[in-house]
Amino acid sequence: MTDLKSAKAALRKVLNEKLNALTSEEVERQSKEVEKKVLAHPKYKDSKRLAIYLCMPKEIQTTGILRHALESGKTCYIPRYQTKSNYMDMVRLHSWEEYDALPVTRWNIKQPPMSQSCETALASGGLDLILMPGLGFTREGHRMGRGKGYYDTFLAKCKASQTPPPSTIALAFKEQVLPEIPTDETDIMIDIVMTAE
3-state DSSP of 142-155: CEECCCCCHHHHHH
The pTM of the full predicted model, rounded to 2 decimals, is 0.93
| Average pLDDT across the chain, whole number | 92
CB distance 22 to 28 below 8 Å = no
17-80-168-37 Cα dihedral, nearest 10 degrees: -70
CB 79 within 8 A of CB 51: yes
Mean pLDDT for 67-95 is: 92
In sequence order, the 6+-apart residues with CB closer than 8 A to the CB of 38 are: 44, 65, 131, 169, 171, 194
Q: Tell me how far apart the alpha carbons of residues 181 and 160 are, in angstroms, rounded to a whole number.
A: 26
pLDDT band at 197 (very low <50, low <70, confident <90, very high): confident
Which residues are CB-contacts of 188 (< 8 A; sequence separation ≥ 6)?
A: 143, 151, 152, 155, 156, 159
Q: List 169's β-bridge partners, or say none.
A: 131, 192
Position 30 pLDDT exceeds 80:
yes
DSSP 4-34: HHHHHHHHHHHHHHHHHTS-HHHHHHHHHHH
Q: Kindly state the average pLDDT of the residues 58-69.
A: 96
At 188 the pLDDT is 85
